[in-house]
Amino acid sequence: MNYQESFVNYLRYEKRDSSHTVTAYRKDLDQFVLYCTEMIGEFDVKRVDAKLVRGWVIELMEEHYMPQSVNRKISTLKAFFRFLMKNEVVDNNPALNIPLPKIRKKLPGFVEENSLIHLLDDGFFSNDFRGVRDKLIITLLYGTGIRLAELLNLKERDFDTAGCLIKVLGKRQKERVIPYPKNINQLLQQYIEIRNREVGNSPDVLLVTEKGKPVYEKLTYRVVKKYLEQVTSLEKKSPHVLRHSYATHLLNRGADLNAVKELLGHSNLSATQIYTHTTFEKLQRVYKQAHPRG
- Residues identified as active-site: 147, 171, 240, 243, 266, 275
Q: Would you call 130 exposed, middle or buried from its count of C-beta atoms within 10 A (0-12, 13-18, 19+)?
A: middle
CA angle 108, 239, 193 (to 5 degrees): 150
| Secondary element (H or E) of residue 291 | none
- The DSSP 8-state label assigned to residue 208 in this structure reads B
Confirm if 184 and 247 have CB atoms less than 8 A apart. Answer: no
Q: How far is CA 105 from CA 67, 68, 76, 240, 274, in A?
A: 11, 10, 21, 17, 10
Strand partners, 167: 177
Contacts of 158 (CB under 8 A, 6+ apart): 166, 167, 168, 206
Q: How far apart are CA 201 and CA 195, in angstroms?
A: 7
Q: How far apart are CA 110 and CA 141, in angstroms?
A: 13
